[in-house]
Every structure is written in C-alpha cells, then in structure tokens.
Amino acid sequence: MPNQALRSWMQTLISYVRSGQPDLTNRQMALMLLVYLTPGPHTVRGLAHLLGVSKPVITRALNTLGALGYLRRVRDESDRRNVFVAKTSTGQDFLESFERNLEQSNLDRRAPRENGFILQHG
C-alpha cells in the first residue's frame, strides 16, 4: 500500500491534471522551482549543475517555459555574454495555482469521501 506522501502527491497530480494547466515535465517543474524558490541570479550553466544535467537540457526546458511565459532570459548588461534566467508574473501565477492545488489535495486527503474521490484496490 502506498505511503501517505505518495497518496498526497497523487492527489496533487490529479488536481493539477484536472486544472487544465499545461503539462510540465519533472525537469521543467524542477527548473521552475529552482528559479522561483532559490536566490539568484540563475544562469543556464548554474541550473544545469544544480540539476545534474547538460546545458542543452536546460536550454530545451527554457525554450518551453519561455514559450509558456513562465520564465524569461535576460542579458546581463554589464557582461553581454551572460544570460540570466528570470521569473515572470505568469510563472508566479502558475506556481501559486500549483501551490493551491497542493494545499487542496492535502485537505482532500484528510476527507476523501467528502470530495467524491475514493480509490479502491482489488
């Protein structure tokens, strides 16, 4: 039987899928959380190091997240060779919505019969 942490995560993911928001990969979500929850400035190289992936992996994720308006690239004015990864209001709204889903799933986990979601194993 899955432990409570997995059940909570399952509820969060179900709520997220039902929300209609764009599906993000685990890498994209990890990238979002790193940029929004840890102090910057953030660079592609630094983010790749933190996630243990190559710079092209971060670039691909940034391309998708940038197209969604969740993150943006900003050129360093003091050294134009450097590019920073920056937050956006759209990305902040997305994560706040995801956090509400997480909080709601924790509430739902405490009272699963009240929201009509019950899992049964055969």
CATH number at residue 52: 1.10.10.10
Position 122 scores a pLDDT of 46
State the residue range of the domain holding 40: 24-98
The answer to whether position 16 is within a domain reads no
Q: Where are the alpha helices (DSSP H) in the chain?
A: 4-19, 26-37, 44-51, 55-68, 89-110
The answer to whether position 90 is within a domain reads yes
The answer to whether position 107 is within a domain reads no
- Sheet containing 42-43: order of strands: 42-43, 83-87, 71-75
* Angle at the Cα of 64 from the Cα atoms of 61 and 67, rounded to 5 degrees: 145
Answer whether 0.85 is exceeded by the pTM.
no
pLDDT in tens, 47-96: 999 999 999 999 999 999 999 999 999 998 888 888 899 999 999 999 99
The mean-pLDDT minimum among 8-22, 30-44, 68-82 falls in 8-22
Report the pLDDT averaged over residues 27-34.
95
